Structure 1
Amino acid sequence: MRIDAGTDRLMGATVTGLHLSSASETEVAELREAVYSNRILLIKDQNLAPKELVELGRALGTIEVYYEPMYHHPEHPEIFVSGTKPGESFEGVPQTGKFWHADYSFMAHPFGITMTSPQIVPKGKRGTYYIDMAKAFAALPEDLKDLLRGTRVEHSPRRYFKIRPSDVYRPIHELQAEIEEITPAVFHPTVFRHPVTGEEILYVSEAASFGFVDEDGRRLAPEILHEVLERTGQLDQTFTHPNIHLQTFTEGDLLVWDNRALVHRALHSPKPEPAQSYRVTVHDQHPFFGAGA
């Protein structure tokens, strides 16, 4: 197995010479550690079957099955299906993730590792944008960092909830009430130390964050959240902010990333084209929030 981090990108490494369908426990452990040190791994030439993708997830930790069944692979509910594939007997969910987020941040127990296996990659432009929230936090002014330490941030899916076929014609107040019942807002540490690398992580996203509260539960001014999102690059619609990294991929690749430290946003082709990926999400052996939480 070769891990090449390169020198011409903000983050990430390319992995070659590894066959995940027959990887040893030692190789899987080495791969897991490489995720923490490189943030993103692009593992080439895999072409994993759905069953093999699930088995890899179990080798890395404990799989978290997504709470909305409409995203599930029909034979392997551990797999979250994004997009559609012509000729398949089931429908995936198109145009997912078109906003800055960390997977499952709106749940009480987020997970540490996300894996994505592209099944169909459009001919048009496609990829995933990432921001390293450890580096983004380190670049903030000292007074803003001091203000954020010790606060908690509200997370909820209510801003970008994906409407389901069963929601058509439902009164909006019923849908809003259901969102609040099934996924009530949670408050996570705004800043915590990564349990492996020790870096301070800023746990804030444009999609799921709704403001800060101090140690006494008092709300901070909403302008602070706007400033944080702007400074980290999440409000830049040109995607030229120096914090933003675009990761491209092709069919047969496997993307594995550190879901604690990164926020990401899908880049979809501007023209409607078939597109599909399989995602598996994993709780690793470390507590999600390290010291300072």
Structure 2
Amino acid sequence: MKVQYQDDKRMGVFVYDFNNKTASDRDIQDLKELVYEHKIVVIKEQDLSPHQYCDFGYRLGEIEKYYQPMYHHPEREEIFVSSNVSQNGQQIGVPKTGKFWHADYAFMPKPFAFSMVYPQLLPSKDRGTYFIDMSKVYQGLPDDLKSIANESSCYHSVRRYFKIRPEDVYRPISEILDEIERVTPPSKHPTTFTHPVTGETILYITEGFTYQIGDSQGKPQDISVLQSLLAHSGQLDKSFKYPLIEHHEFELGDLRIWDNRSLVHCAHYAANSEPAVTFRLTLHDRYPFYEL
């Protein structure tokens, strides 16, 4: 495989001439090391069936399927489908997923190491994802906020962005909220943690899922503390002009892998709702999600 590096001002590398079928175990390991080091790897000119896509994913790590079946691909349930296109009169997957700042599965006890996205159908413009490197955010925090972050934990929940399912129509909202709390109760994670591979300190908060910060004794802190941390990360900037926000575009044939420990992301969708279909896999690596 051939690797094309970007300048130091942007995350990520491009990989060319990569074939999962002929790649050695060393090639796969090299690919993972590129993700850890550069945060984002874009493998160019891929043409994979759903089965080949999953086969590749299993070479990189342990795939975990999404907990809600309505997102599943009809052939391979490991694939999370984001789509606004119906097939034979039926909706496959869910439209406009992830249009808020988040890290995948932050609301679960065991989030993922890698997120892997493979677009199948792209709009003519406004096609891509916004990213923020939360290790850089931590480095730039004022000392007082660093101290608070280092000695606290945060609580994360899917409740704010739970997608209503077809079977939820006409259900009382109280029943839906009770189900959310029962199936995906809030998860507690340290506000900062050490990346198990890179050794970087990560600020682990997201605008979409984080709803409370507590001190070392678990006492809830004023919401303004969490808001200050989010503001310093750029996640409250609705213009997406904050210096640490990077926009990465997609092309057909791109397969993008990123470090889900280090990065938060926000989907960018075309305003005119052109057809768009994306397949996602989420993977665990052999390390714990974080080291305390």
The TM-score normalised by the length of structure 1 is 0.97
Instruction: Please give the alpha-carbon distance, in whole angstroms, between the structure 2 residues aligned to 1:163 and 1:242.
Output: 34
Give how far 1:92 is off.
1.8
Give how far 1:224 is off.
0.5
Please provide the CA RMSD for this pair.
1.2
Q: Specify the alignment match of 2:133 in structure 1.
A: 132
Letter in 2 for 1:114: S
Ranges of 4+ aligned residues in structure 1 off by more than 3 Å: 84-90
Instruction: Please give the alpha-carbon distance, in whole angstroms, between the structure 1 residues aligned to 2:170 and 2:73.
Output: 26
How many equivalent residue pairs? 291
Secondary structure of the structure 2 residue equivalent to 1:119? strand
Letter in 2 for 1:44: K
Bigger shift: residues 19-28 or 222-231: 19-28
Q: Specify the alignment match of 2:287 in structure 1.
A: 286
Secondary structure of the structure 1 residue equivalent to 2:282? strand
Instruction: Please give the alpha-carbon distance, in whole angstroms, between the structure 1 residues aligned to 2:84 and 2:225.
Output: 39
Instruction: Please give the alpha-carbon distance, in whole angstroms, between the structure 2 residues aligned to 1:115 and 1:126.
Output: 16
Give how far 1:97 is off.
0.3
Where do 1:1-293 residues align within 5 Å? 1-7=1-7, 9-85=9-85, 87=87, 91-290=92-291, 293=292
Q: 1:96 to 1:59 in 2, by over 3 A?
A: same
Secondary structure of the structure 2 residue equivalent to 1:228? helix
Give how far 1:278 is off.
0.3
* Contiguous gaps of at least 5 residues in structure 2: none
- 1:41-100 Cα distance to aligned partner (Å, 9 max, x none): 111001211111111111111111100000000110000000144546652210100000
Instruction: Please give the alpha-carbon distance, in whole angstroms, between the structure 2 residues aligned to 1:46 and 1:85.
Output: 22
Secondary structure of the structure 1 residue equivalent to 2:159? coil
Q: Is this contact kept in 2: 1:124–1:271, CA < 8 A? A: no
Percent identical across equivalent pairs?
47
Q: Is this contact kept in 2: 1:21–1:48, CA < 8 A? A: no
Q: Is this contact kept in 2: 1:101–1:206, CA < 8 A? A: yes
* Contiguous gaps of at least 5 residues in structure 1: none
The TM-score normalised by the length of structure 2 is 0.97
Secondary structure of the structure 1 residue equivalent to 2:267? strand
Instruction: Please give the alpha-carbon distance, in whole angstroms, between the structure 2 residues aligned to 1:96 and 1:52.
Output: 24
